[in-house]
Structure 1
């Protein structure tokens, strides 16, 4: 009797060992789904064509600087500029002069990558492309970038709504990496400077 009992115990241990990775994968998928279903707090709400939390399109850049301080990085040319603030929640703001007087700069695009930033339907970082499409049926590919390490970044834009998504592949599926809020009806690529420094845009 001892030998059969030993073999049964051994088989159960082997089964548990084989099942563990699958259960861990399921747990990760559940975590992603929970994140996608969780609405953002008001200070991190993504409103297409309007705002990303406390940062809004048309906001005076002096106000942005008072909230975030001096940018950690950026680029500027021809009256346009990107300011980038690195951190747990990396934020980038594209700005231009408000008018021909050229004495005031305002935000034209806002890019956020923090986990907490979500639309009212819970769309944000790590949301799968399929779920984004369900919420933004007019979503279209806007650009593709490759890095020196052969990584790929896909940009999808819901142009009319005023929201775009940077996506990267993880575990075989495209997941949101960052979200851009831009003016409604204007393509996300309508900037003189690119936020994707170090990436090569494919034709």
Structure 2
């Protein structure tokens, strides 16, 4: 009788141990599978958001583009890219449009000035682009928050004063190759303007603010 009880106890113990080991093995395999799936997701994300791609989306090219927004580009393509503007105004075949985005508690804007020719059914084309987000940088790494002294080392900029109000003057430093930097009282860049090389940005800059 004693031996029978002992045998049964040993059998129960072995069965329980085997079941526990099976559960542990299953959990370990499940964990490994989850780790593999997470790793695969991380790799896919890193490939989709590679530094080259992110840089291309926010590169300031004088006279050419601000990220994916191109000078002389069709404004309909800009609307497809950025969506409906948060604010816009149009008159006499000219238009300004604004998009706003919160970043680290600060509201930044992307704005464009566009115009169309007098030709019938001619598309509206981007003439100027203004950005205030520090995410946008030139190939040399300059943009919002950089100092005027640093910018002068890389660009042949000329000082332009814009009277915003009778008591407020906007300080803009303009490079004829198609880029200008709006400088604040702290001598740091507050916005970057991209325009066509050789154009005079003074006639269309103010509406972009």
- Quickly name the TM-score band, shorter chain normalised: 0.5 to 0.7
The structure where helix makes up a greater share of residues is: 2
Is the CA contact 1:157–1:187 (under 8 Å) kept in the aligned structure 2?
no
Within-5 A mapping of 1:170-189:
170=186, 174-189=187-202
Q: Take 1:59 and 1:169, find their aligned partners in 2: how far apart are those partners?
A: 33
Residue 145 of structure 1 corresponds to which residue in structure 2? 163
Distance 1:71 1:155, change over 3 A: same
Q: Take 2:117 and 2:67, find their aligned partners in 1: how far apart are those partners?
A: 21
Residue 109 of structure 1 corresponds to which residue in structure 2? 128
Q: Take 1:192 and 1:121, find their aligned partners in 2: how far apart are those partners?
A: 24
Ranked by relative contact order (alpha carbons within 8 Å, sequence separation 6 or more), the top structure is: 1
Q: Secondary structure at the match of 2:151?
A: helix
Is the CA contact 1:58–1:108 (under 8 Å) kept in the aligned structure 2?
yes
Q: CA RMSD in A?
A: 2.1
Is the CA contact 1:82–1:95 (under 8 Å) kept in the aligned structure 2?
yes
Q: Secondary structure at the match of 2:145?
A: coil
Distance 1:76 1:41, change over 3 A: same
Q: Take 1:163 and 1:133, find their aligned partners in 2: how far apart are those partners?
A: 12
Residue 131 of structure 1 corresponds to which residue in structure 2? 150
Residue 77 of structure 1 corresponds to which residue in structure 2? 91
Is the CA contact 1:48–1:182 (under 8 Å) kept in the aligned structure 2?
yes
Q: Which runs of 5+ in 1 are unaligned?
A: 1-39, 197-203
Q: Which runs of 5+ in 2 are unaligned?
A: 1-53, 103-107
Matched, 1:155 2:172: yes
Is the CA contact 2:164–2:206 (under 8 Å) kept in the aligned structure 1?
no
Q: Take 1:143 and 1:194, find their aligned partners in 2: how far apart are those partners?
A: 15
Deviations 1:98-154 (A, max 9, x none): 5622441111111111111000111100111111111112x1122333458x66531
